[in-house]
Amino acid sequence: MKEGPNIALAGSLIGDPARANMLLALMSGKALTASELAREAGITVQTASFHLAKLTDAEFIQPRKQGRHRYFNLAEDVAVILEQLIGLAASRGHTRTRTGPNDLALRKARICYDHLAGESGVQLFDFLKTQGLICGPDEDLQISNSGTDFFNSFEIDLDAMYRSKRPTCKACLDWSARRSHLAGWLGAALLQKFFQLGWARRLDNSRIIQFSPSGEQKFQALLDVPKRN
Amino acid sequence: MKEGPNIALAGSLIGDPARANMLLALMSGKALTASELAREAGITVQTASFHLAKLTDAEFIQPRKQGRHRYFNLAEDVAVILEQLIGLAASRGHTRTRTGPNDLALRKARICYDHLAGESGVQLFDFLKTQGLICGPDEDLQISNSGTDFFNSFEIDLDAMYRSKRPTCKACLDWSARRSHLAGWLGAALLQKFFQLGWARRLDNSRIIQFSPSGEQKFQALLDVPKRN
DNA sequence: AGGATGCTTCGATTAACATCGAACTATGAA
DNA sequence: TTCATAGTTCGATGTTAATCGAAGCATCCT
């Protein structure tokens, strides 16, 4: 018997179409109920229950009870791998239908677990780095002094961020842009801020993030700050 | 029918124990024959042939004929995902035997497809970055002027690197150290140099890279260069 | 040319897993 | 308390995929 990590277990969990559909649905970052996931996967709630038990045992998802509803969240490190697998499938042409307008919209701006991904997400990340607002290695980014000023002026609660146990800011490799976008607490907070400001909204039943015309303008204006060096 | 990337296909390819064993064997970076892969996976050559056909169709591996031997190489982007899956499995305790001395050795220094991973790999990467020998975003690192001098003095053929089509240097997230090590052409070239210098060697039938005592000293001396700022 | 080796293909077999109807439990509303 | 809804568990069924022996093809050695 071979020793070492059992990647076949992880692969087989992702490898069932029903489970894959549920995991992808959870990539939206929303908690979904067992019934909702059953519908997303096109199976009965009995079958969904069987699959959700497996995914829960493997710590791919976390359940949370609320009355008679069972909500499920995706584990963050699983989301990272799913993003990579989406990229691999796309690069190999392993798609289930032809690409369409939604495909372009997903490339432009989409939610990746809880943060902004796509070209807009990559643009944002590049901006934060080139402006020196965040610095350090991509897996352990820190906020600089000028970054603190910037985020405070943007009304991001940095104290809450520092109190949080999750990574403050880290890079997430974006399959569509082949560059990184910003994940972590800060990445999530920025996206929530764009929602709050009305710049962007998520589309129903999709990972697409849609900027309004004025929101897009404001977003680009934010990034179009004269360079400091 | 759901649309979008078919991650279930990729998951199911990795999800079979025999295929997973073969893929992990190919993580050593070596090309292996169908018979060798059958032995690695503990199956007959007929079964291996069936699986190798599937992996080839999906472009997870590339075949190469040499007389009556069929050699297979792992696709580089698949290697990146497998490294992530190894990390996920490790974090969940999904291992097939208890951790042992090999586990520590793998964490210390191992080959990841064709470059150095583990603590040593992370140390090397940190050194190159903090010394300013490479710079830029982790997915598109560039060699600085001082880096060019350094690598030339270390007898790395940079002209060959610039002629190569593969990424010159990029980061690869190391599951064991939770930080990145150096992948790409440069990462591979540096590891080959350590082999050539006799500082390190690969262990048979393992991904472990073993530094000799004097090699370890020289490697640490290389990294222990006074800081430039 | 004949034998050996590496590998592929085919067909039969077996095992594993996903599926859902029925029954049940837990929670919420009337 | 009763009914409705959400979700779980159980058992039976069907499907899918992995497996290997046998046969065959390609390549290499004597």
pLDDT for position A100: 67
Count of alpha carbons within 13 angstroms of residue B212, beta-carbon side: 11
Q: Which nucleotide is nearest to A51 (CA to C1')?
A: C18
How far away is chain A from the Cα of B29, in angstroms, using its nearest Cα? 17
Mean pLDDT of A21-33: 93
User: Is A32 a residue whose pLDDT tops 60?
Assistant: yes
Cβ B160 vs Cβ B151: under 8 Å: no
Least confident piece of the model among A80-89, A171-180, B15-24: A171-180
Region B144-168: what's the mean pLDDT?
A: 89
Q: Which residues pair with B134 in a beta bridge?
A: B143
Whether the pLDDT of residue B19 is over 70: the answer is yes
- What is the average pLDDT value for chain B, to the nearest integer? 88
A61 touches strand D (CB under 7 A): no
**pLDDT in the model for residue A1:** 47
Q: What pLDDT does residue B95 have?
A: 81
Per-residue pLDDT at A94: 84
pLDDT at B229: 43
Token output for A72: 């499920």
Burial B91-118 (b: 16+ CB within 10 A, else e): ebebbeeeeeebbebbbbbbbbbbbbbb
Probe site for chain A from B6, B7, B176 (most A CB atoms < 10 A): B7
Secondary structure of chain B as H, E, C letters: CCCCECHHHHHHHHCCHHHHHHHHHHCCCCCEEHHHHHHHHCCCHHHHHHHHHHHHHCCCEEEEEECCEEEEEECHHHHHHHHHHHHHHHHHCCECCCCCHHHHHHHHCEEECCEEECHHHHHHHHHHHHCCCEECCCCCCEECHHHHHHHHHCCCCHHHHHHCCCCCCEEEEECCCCEEEEEHHHHHHHHHHHHHCCCEEECCCCCEEEECHHHHHHHHHHHCCCCCC
Residues in reach of strand C, judged by a CB distance below 7 angstroms, are A 12, 16-19, 43-44, 46-47, 50-51, 54, 66-68; B 33-36, 45-46, 48-50, 52-53, 63, 68-70
Smallest Cα distance from A171 to chain B, Å: 9
Confidence bin at A165 (pLDDT 50/70/90): confident
pLDDT band at A103, cuts 50/70/90? confident
A37 vs A164 pLDDT, higher one: A37
Nearest to B179 among A42, A88, A137 (CB): A137
| Confidence at B226, pLDDT banded by 50, 70, 90 | low
Q: DSSP states of A80-126 as a string? A: HHHHHHHHHHHHTT-BSS---HHHHHHHHSEEETTEEESHHHHHHHH
Confidence (pLDDT) at B1? 47
- Quote the pLDDT of residue A99: 63
- Do A75 and A23 touch, CB atoms closer than 8 A? no
> In order of start, what are the domains of chain B with their CATH numbers?
7-74 (1.10.10.10), 98-223 (no CATH)
Residues of A in contact with B85 (CB under 8 A): 5, 7, 10-11, 81
Report the distance from CA of residue B25 to the C1' of nucleotide D17 in Å, as an integer.
23
Predicted local confidence at residue B100, as pLDDT:
67
**Between these two residues, A126 and B4, which has the higher pLDDT value?**
A126
> Closest CA to C6 C1' — which residue?
B68
Residue A197 above 90 pLDDT? yes
Is residue B6's pLDDT more than 70? yes
Instruction: Give me the pLDDT at residue B69, please.
Output: 93
Average pLDDT over residues A188-214: 91
Cβ of A69 less than 7 A from strand D: yes
Taking the C-alpha atoms of residue A101 and residue A211, their distance in angstroms, rounded to an integer, is 15
Q: Mean pLDDT, to the nearest integer, of A131-157?
A: 89
* Percent of the residues in chain B that have a pLDDT greater than 70, as a whole number: 95
Q: Which residues contact A114 (CB under 8 A, 6 or more apart)?
A: A29, A187, A188, A191
- Res A227 pLDDT > 70: no
Alpha carbon distances (Å) from B26 to A56, A84, B29, B40, B203: 30, 19, 6, 10, 14
- Beta-carbon count within 10 A of B72 CB: 23
Could you report the per-residue pLDDT of A65-75, keeping only the tens digit for each? 988 999 999 99
pLDDT of residue B201: 93
